[in-house]
Amino acid sequence: MSDEEHHFESKADAGASKTYPQQAGTIRKNGYIVIKGRPCKVVEVSTSKTGKHGHAKCHFVAIDIFNGKKLEDIVPSSHNCDVPHVNRTDYQLIDISEDGFVSLLTENGNTKDDLRLPTDDNLLSQIKDGFSDGKDLVVSVMSSMGEEQICALKDIGPK
């Protein structure tokens, strides 16, 4: 057990790392995986064998969490895959600027102004509508491998 803990500790220190190795066989549906350098969410895993008496390999179908594109990969199931570190932070939405940026309030009271609004009209209108209704909105910002995007919003204001 202590061994396990140690392993865990050392990883925690290497916090700057963007991805972690993980055995392909342990990655499940709904987990994350890096395919072709993109952070993805796994939507389908199937296993097959290399030759009749060979070893198992996993076939992943995954969707890029930022641009929604579908990617596939085949990895021997005992080998390691890269798993992205996906981070989500909640901020209160302060303002939406004309030039397509949002102004967010961080936990320690500063503002974060470098996040662009999504370009997709549908997502954009969902955010803008809520904001213009005067609701108190909290946005969740998902960041992974150096990219950031708003992934959810939530109305926290009193009705």
Q: Which positions from 48 through 107 interact with other proteins, judged by CB under 8 A?
A: 48-56, 58, 63-69, 76-79, 83-88
Give CA–CA dist 18/138, Å, rounded: 25
Give CA–CA dist 76/56, Å, rounded: 6
Indicate the SS3 state at residue 113.
Answer: strand
Q: Minimum Å distance from CB 88 to other proteins?
A: 4
Out of 16, 30, 98, 134, point to the residue binding other proteins (CB under 8 A): 30
Closest CA to 28 of 3, 62, 4, 54: 62
Out of 26, 97, 106, 132, point to the residue binding other proteins (CB under 8 A): 26
Q: Which positions from 2 through 21 interact with other proteins, judged by CB under 8 A?
A: 3-5, 7-8, 11-12, 15, 19-20
Indicate the residue among 4 and 98 with the shorter CB distance to other proteins: 4
Indicate the residue among 7 and 113 with the shorter CB distance to other proteins: 7
Q: Do 130 and 122 meet the contact criterion of CB atoms below 8 Å apart?
A: no
Contacting range for other proteins; rule: CB under 8 A; set: 42-50, 96-104, 108-116: 42-50
Cβ neighbours of residue 49 closer than 8 Å, sequence gap 6 or more: 55, 56, 57
Residue 43 CB coordination number (10 Å): 12
Does residue 71 come out as left (phi exceeding 0), alpha (psi in the -120 to 50 range) or beta? beta
Residues that bind other proteins (CB under 8 A): 1, 3-5, 7-8, 11-12, 15, 19-20, 22-26, 28, 30-32, 41, 43, 46-56, 58, 63-69, 76-79, 83-88, 118, 120, 123, 126-127, 140, 142, 150-156
